[in-house]
């Protein structure tokens, strides 16, 4: 099966909205073993959208659209697809009932043009949307080809795809694709690739690298007739990767939803520890990332944002003379921040971050990117020096990831 993603919306072309839907759909299609050779983004123009549909259907079996299912004049996604299929849109009773019920639940007045959201071709499979007012749909286009309409908001598109479209695609695919996502922190892409290059040459199972800021992920995928057969093929490959990379692997997950924060929270739970943060250059990002994990309330007690020196003294009890003597960006101050936070909040482990994110403020002794993490448990307090590179956001992001990894390792 070959799929093509077609994202509709002038706001995407103008850069007003980041196209995260294409990224999400690409990852899910890849995990399902569905080939994808092209993507398109087209504005709210009928002729250009019609051309995009015809081109996509000439080279793909399934075209997945996002956006343009609303009630406004520029929501043309369904209407143009029906034109390409040579069919008329009609009011579908089940879709109308859903739209009316959703407006009742939202305590909003339904306008006559909202009924356009319930208009589909007669042979369309309507996918009722529990997350918004626009139903999704699977539309037969002839010659065994289909268009799948999904709403634009990611909070609607993602669960609709996972819950209703993926099962349909799996049934049509015929084979079972099983993946493991091997997440790495503390080793660069080039080194990891060098160690795994022979394993990356296989055709089934496959091993493919993906990179993000400070991290590397390898996706191992096996295709077979049954899940048991796929797992039997996949397990030896994953073990070889584990042997080659060692403890820089922090998670091996069945999907790509893992993160350092989730692993840190899980390690703290397993240890029975609570954690608190004391942040300067990261400005609360460490705490924010931790509490983004469901269930973090079991381990995260709180956090201090001590951006100015006076706040470090007032909130975390860092001696002012220590800051004057050692500099606010120093191992000594990072340790004092962590120790004081642990004692004041009564947690099992505290993590701190102080440093220079730039672009200004650096010196030859302490250039931009100089960061110190502090960690304190009931047994010991220590620091981790970092020399990071990049712009302000990259330095702060990397500092957060190093802090989460340090907490994860300390709680093991």
CATH code of the domain containing 118: 3.40.980.10
182 and 220 belong to one structural domain = yes
CATH number at residue 280: 3.90.950.20
pLDDT tens-digit profile, the chain (412 residues): 899 999 999 999 999 999 999 999 998 998 888 989 999 999 999 999 999 999 999 999 999 999 999 999 989 999 999 999 999 999 999 999 999 999 999 999 999 999 999 999 999 999 999 999 999 999 999 999 999 999 999 999 999 999 999 999 988 877 888 999 999 999 999 999 999 999 999 999 999 999 989 999 999 999 999 999 999 999 999 999 999 999 999 999 998 889 999 999 999 999 999 999 999 999 999 999 999 999 999 999 999 999 999 999 999 999 999 999 999 999 999 999 999 999 999 999 999 999 999 999 999 999 999 999 999 999 999 999 999 999 999 999 999 999 999 999 999 9
201 and 112 belong to one structural domain = no
148 and 240 belong to one structural domain = no
182 and 284 belong to one structural domain = no
Looking at residue 214, its pLDDT comes to: 94
Looking at residue 149, its pLDDT comes to: 98
The answer to whether the beta carbons of residues 236 and 228 sit under 8 Å apart is no
23 and 150 belong to one structural domain = yes
In the listed set 238, 253, 268, which residue is the last one of a domain according to the structure? Answer: 253
In the listed set 132, 149, 173, which residue is the last one of a domain according to the structure? Answer: 173
242 and 348 belong to one structural domain = no
Q: Torsion over CA of 121, 125, 126 and 128, rounded to 10 degrees? A: 180
Looking at residue 300, its pLDDT comes to: 98
Looking at residue 327, its pLDDT comes to: 97
Task: Give 37's contacts (C-beta < 8 A, 6+ positions apart).
Answer: 2, 4, 59, 60
The CA distance from 191 to 200, in Å, is 14
404 token code pair: 């989460």
Task: Give 23's contacts (C-beta < 8 A, 6+ positions apart).
Answer: none
216 and 331 belong to one structural domain = no
346 token code pair: 């009564």
The answer to whether the beta carbons of residues 158 and 125 sit under 8 Å apart is no
13 and 144 belong to one structural domain = yes
264 and 293 belong to one structural domain = yes
pTM: 0.82
Q: How far is CA 194 from the centre of its chain?
A: 26
CATH number at residue 206: 3.30.70.2860
150 token code pair: 């999904």
Residue 374 is part of which domain span? 260-410
The CA distance from 410 to 373, in Å, is 13
In the listed set 253, 271, 300, which residue is the last one of a domain according to the structure? Answer: 253
Neighbouring-strand partners of residue 384: 373
126 and 269 belong to one structural domain = no
324 and 239 belong to one structural domain = no
- Residue 109, classified by CB atoms within 10 Å of its CB into exposed (0-12), middle (13-18) or buried (19+), is exposed
From the list 320, 343, 330, the residue with the least C-alpha distance to 372 is 330
Number of domains the chain contains = 3
15 and 160 belong to one structural domain = yes
């Amino acid at each position: 099966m070959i799929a093509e993603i077609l994202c509709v919306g002038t706001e995407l072309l103008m850069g007003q909205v980041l196209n995260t839907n294409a990224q999400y759909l690409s990852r899910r299609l890849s995990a399902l073993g569905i080939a994808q050779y092209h993507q398109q983004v087209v504005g709210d123009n009928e002729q250009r959208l019609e051309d995009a549909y015809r081109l996509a259907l000439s080279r793909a079996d399934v075209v997945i659209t996002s956006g343009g299912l609303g009630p406004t004049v520029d929501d043309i996604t369904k209407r143009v697809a029906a034109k390409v299929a040579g069919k008329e849109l009609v009011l579908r009773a089940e879709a109308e009932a859903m739209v009316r019920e959703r407006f009742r639940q939202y305590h909003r007045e339904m306008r006559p043009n909202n009924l356009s959201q319930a208009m589909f071709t007669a042979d369309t499979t309507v996918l009722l949307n529990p997350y918004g007012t626009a139903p999704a749909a699977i539309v037969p286009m002839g010659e065994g080809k289909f268009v799948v309409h999904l709403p634009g908001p990611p909070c609607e598109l993602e669960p609709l795809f996972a819950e209703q479209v993926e099962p349909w695609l799996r049934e049509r695919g015929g084979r079972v694709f099983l993946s493991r996502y091997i997440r790495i922190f503390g080793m660069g892409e080039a080194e990891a690739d060098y160690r795994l290059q022979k394993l990356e040459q296989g055709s089934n199972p496959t091993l493919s690298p993906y990179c993000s800021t400070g991290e590397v992920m390898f996706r191992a995928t096996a295709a077979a007739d049954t899940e048991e057969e796929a797992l039997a093929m996949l397990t030896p490959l994953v073990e070889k990767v584990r042997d080659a990379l060692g403890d820089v692997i922090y998670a091996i997950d069945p999907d790509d939803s893992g993160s350092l924060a989730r692993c840190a929270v899980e390690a703290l739970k397993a240890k029975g520890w609570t954690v608190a943060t004391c942040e300067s250059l990261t400005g609360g990002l460490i705490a924010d990332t931790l509490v983004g994990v469901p269930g973090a309330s079991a381990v995260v007690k709180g956090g201090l944002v001590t951006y100015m020196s006076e706040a470090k003294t007032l909130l975390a009890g860092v001696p002012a003379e220590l800051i004057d003597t050692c500099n606010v960006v120093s191992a000594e101050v990072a340790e004092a921040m962590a120790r004081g936070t642990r004692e004041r909040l009564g947690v099992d482990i505290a993590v701190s971050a102080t440093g220079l994110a730039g672009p200004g403020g650096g010196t030859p002794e302490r250039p931009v990117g100089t960061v110190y993490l502090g960690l304190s448990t009931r047994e010991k307090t220590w620091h981790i020096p970092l020399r990071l590179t990049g712009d302000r956001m990259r330095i702060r992001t990397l500092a957060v990831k190093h802090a989460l990894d340090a907490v994860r390792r300390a709680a093991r």
